[in-house]
Every structure is written in C-alpha cells, then in structure tokens.
C-alpha cells in the first residue's frame, strides 16, 4: 500500500503530532476538517474498501447497497457474472438511485426523483422527457448522457469478499492484503452462507472502533466473559501478525492448556471472576474446523473490514463513519454452505457472544463512547500507545499495541500528517 505523505491535512488549522507512533493526539477523533479529509484521502484514496460478500449477490441483477466511508454505493451482479459498483447518487440532483438495502434489478435502476434510468454498470440510459413536451423544454441538443453519471469503482474479490476502490493507484488486492491474505483464507476457504445480520450504531469516531479491534491488550481485561471462561487470556499462546506497512493485522489465541492459570487472580484483575457461572455451558462448546490450535482469530483490513472467528462463530464486520462522533457497525454472521444442522445451531447460539448485547463484546459498544467523551476537551493532549514497543510489526504476544501503531502509520501516510 502506497502511504507516501501528501499535502498535510493540518494545513489551515493548528494541530501537531509528535514524532513517532506512541502518542496519538486526540484531535484526530474530534476535528471535522480531519473527518472531511479522510473521505478523500483514505476512503476514496489508494485502498480497497470492503463492500459486501459475493454470496449476497449470487444472480444476475442481484444488488446490495453499502458504503465507502460516507459515500453510498450500489454493488450489483451484471452480465456474465461480473460484479459492478458505482456511487449510489443520481447524476441529476444527487438523490439516492437505489433505496433498498438489497434486491434484484431486472436490467436497470430508476431514480424516484425524476425517473433518470441507469443500467447495471451505472451508465445513464435515459432521461425522462429529454426532448421536452410538445416541442418545448427538455435538455439542450449538446447534452451527452455518456458523459454524465455516478462515479464508478474498480472491483476486486478475495475469498468471497467484494472490495471497491476509486483510485487508479490502488495495488492488486492480493498485494494490498500481503501477509494477512492467508489469515483471511484460513476462515473463508470454502463457500459460505449468510445466517444473520444487524447494524449497531456507536457513539464514537470510526477510528476508535478500529483501534479497539486492533487493541489485543484490552480483550481479556475489559471482557469478563473472555477471561472467566478461558476464551482468551494474555497468558494463552498466540500472537499478533501485522502487515508490512502496518495497516492490516491478525490476532490469534490458542486453545487453553490444562495448566492452572492464576495470573489474573494474582494480579487482582477484575476480569478473572470465579463467581460467574453459566447454567447452560453448551455455548462454550468448540468443534475443531481448522488444522491448527487457534480458537480465536480477529483479522482487520485497513480501513474498515474485520473478519472474525470466535470458537465457531464466524462474522464479517464493516465500519461506516457517520460524522466525527458517530458510526455504524454492520455485522454479517456467516456459516459454511455445507454446515450440518447441528453446526448451524451452534454457530447461531455462539452469535450471542458478540454484538450489542453479546456476552463477550457488549463492552466494546461502550468504551469507544467513553473515549469520545473523555477526550472532548483535550484535543491537544495525546493517548499513550507504548505496549510492546514503539514500532509496529508481528509479535508473538497479544500484550502489545503493535497493530494500533501500524494503523496510525498508514493513516498518517495517507493523510500527510
């Protein structure tokens, strides 16, 4: 990924960032000028943005609406099975072309505002009353439909994931993913089915959620369920894989051993609560599906994609910015197409581990807001990101913030900070 600095985003206002990656200034979460610049330099820059799953648009004319940053996008299956993506914005007055989350278009899309019509590639096909009525009105003779239309995205697929970019400078998808590609393929190695989805609004800047996902240090400290039921502890084996430029990462937790682990209790850490019990422990069942001892894996692809495996619960998460202090988190739960009924039941049961009320992750819906509120009057102060050193790279531990520093390395390069 090319992260060569461009013109500084700080031009025009007084902000500074200390050298290095161990201090993250809080203005990055609060300044509306930064949020606007991110749309052009990151989301519309030389990156691959996750759009949807291939399985969600299996047939000709099937479409889903999605987002690239704050830009609404239509993804549709066209002729010969090709996937197209274009801005969900009528070239006439800017209204949404497609209003539904998903559906099937026989051959085209119509804007409800003035009935302008677009084909499945986003090309303008007709303008209502283009020649006017009874010889009056209409478009001028030099109006060219071929020159007008929504912006189109380049599209790439990887392991059933659909990505889009507006930049000609974005490298091929496998090159973009680098060392993280095999970690995605580990989970998405065969056809999947969507088994559930929802959208979770969160009261914080989008980057705070991405940091949280990349924060392998917090998981067994914040989440009581994780530690109490031995789903993940920092004392379990595993580690953090970071891409060469720092933008992507994968964290892994190995299966717990039979050894007694008293580290959390000895340290007096709240996360080790021996009084908490489950009446029904079937949610903790683990069925071996991979030829490795990894029980939990989280993969984050810059800027806004997360691929999750927690025991047998599989999901894809998409982060959508909604301004400086708000975002939506789109969850798509998946199973393999060849799942047995028993496995499908287990996946659905384990989906209760994550999400707004998930036994594991309900706290993640709060902490981003805590940081957003806590830093509201401290824009010129900075957070400390020093666990595991000062640089970024792969480490054989999760007691580290290496993946967070990697994220900021790429963000600063693209933003020119």
Give yes or no: residues 132 and 271 share one domain. no
Comparing C-alpha atoms, which of 209, 143, 177, 159 is closest to residue 367? 209
Comparing C-alpha atoms, which of 213, 203, 176 is closest to residue 325? 203
Give yes or no: residues 191 and 289 share one domain. yes
The beta-strand segments (E) located in 35-136 are: 49-53, 62-68, 71-77, 83-87, 102-104, 108-110, 117-119, 124-126
pLDDT in tens, 52-91: 999 999 999 999 999 999 999 999 999 999 999 999 999 9
Using CA atoms, how far apart are residues 120 and 125, in angstroms rounded to an integer? 10
Residue 357, in any domain of the structure: yes
251 vs 259, more confident: 251
Please give the biggest Cα pair distance in the chain: 87
* pLDDT of 10 strictly over 80: no
> Quick one: pLDDT band at residue 343, thresholds 50, 70, 90?
very high
Specify the pLDDT at position 5. 42
Specify the pLDDT at position 355. 83
* pLDDT of 118 strictly over 60: yes
Average pLDDT estimate for 311-329: 97
Using CA atoms, how far apart are residues 211 and 407, in angstroms rounded to an integer? 8
Q: Which domain holds residue 279?
A: 182-415
Specify the pLDDT at position 6. 41
pLDDT more than 90, % of the chain: 78
Give yes or no: residues 154 and 217 share one domain. no
Window from 56-65, 231-240, 392-401 with minimum mean pLDDT: 231-240
DSSP conformation class of 43: I
Average pLDDT estimate for 376-393: 96
Give yes or no: residues 147 and 197 share one domain. no
Q: Write down the pTM of the prediction.
A: 0.93
Average pLDDT estimate for 248-266: 81
- What CATH number did the domain enclosing 149 receive? 2.102.10.10
Q: Concatenated DSSP letters for 57-71?
A: S-STTEEEEEEETTE
Specify the pLDDT at position 272. 64
Comparing C-alpha atoms, which of 219, 216, 299 is closest to residue 50? 299
Distant-in-sequence, close-in-space partners of 340: CB < 8 Å, separation ≥ 6: none
Give yes or no: residues 103 and 191 share one domain. no
Average pLDDT estimate for 22-30: 97
Give yes or no: residues 259 and 301 share one domain. yes
């Amino acid at each position: 990924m090319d992260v060569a600095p461009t013109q500084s985003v700080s031009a025009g206002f007084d902000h500074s960032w200390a050298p290095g990656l161990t201090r993250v200034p809080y203005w990055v979460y609060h300044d509306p000028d930064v949020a606007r610049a991110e749309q052009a330099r990151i989301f519309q820059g030389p990156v691959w943005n996750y759009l949807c799953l291939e399985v969600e648009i299996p047939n000709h004319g099937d479409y889903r609406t999605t987002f690239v940053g704050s830009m609404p996008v239509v993804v549709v299956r066209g002729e010969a099975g090709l996937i197209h993506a274009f801005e969900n914005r009528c070239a006439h007055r800017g209204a949404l072309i497609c209003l539904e989350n998903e559906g099937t278009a026989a051959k085209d899309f119509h804007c409800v505002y003035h009935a302008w019509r677009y084909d499945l590639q986003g090309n303008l096909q007709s303008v209502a009353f283009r020649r006017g009525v009874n010889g009056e009105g209409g478009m001028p003779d030099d109006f060219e439909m071929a020159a007008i239309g929504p912006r189109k995205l380049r599209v790439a697929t990887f392991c059933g994931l659909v990505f889009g970019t507006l930049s000609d400078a974005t490298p091929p998808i496998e090159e973009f993913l680098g060392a993280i590609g095999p970690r995605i393929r580990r989970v998405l190695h065969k056809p999947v089915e969507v088994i559930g989805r929802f959208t979770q609004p969160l009261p914080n800047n989008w980057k705070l959620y991405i940091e949280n996902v990349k924060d392998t240090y917090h998981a067994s400290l914040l989440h009581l369920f994780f530690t109490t039921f031995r789903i993940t502890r920092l004392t379990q084996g595993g580690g953090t894989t970071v891409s060469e430029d720092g933008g992507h990462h994968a964290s892994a937790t190995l299966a717990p051993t039979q050894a007694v682990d008293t580290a959390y209790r000895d340290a007096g850490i709240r996360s080790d609560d021996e009084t908490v019990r489950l009446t029904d422990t079937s949610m903790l069942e683990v069925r071996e599906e991979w030829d490795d001892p990894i029980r939990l894996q989280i993969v984050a692809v810059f800027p806004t994609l997360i691929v999750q495996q927690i025991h047998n619960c599989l999901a894809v998460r998409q982060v959508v910015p909604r301004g400086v202090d708000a975002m939506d988190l789109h969850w798509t739960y998946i199973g393999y197409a060849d799942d047995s009924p028993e496995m499908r039941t287990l996946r659905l049961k384990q989906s209760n581990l994550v999400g707004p009320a998930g036994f594991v992750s309900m706290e993640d819906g709060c902490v981003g807001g805590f940081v957003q509120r806590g830093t509201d009057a401290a824009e010129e102060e900075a957070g400390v990101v020093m666990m595991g050193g000062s640089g970024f790279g792969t480490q054989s531990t999760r007691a580290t913030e290496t993946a967070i520093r990697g994220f900021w390395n790429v963000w600063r390069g693209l933003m020119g900070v």
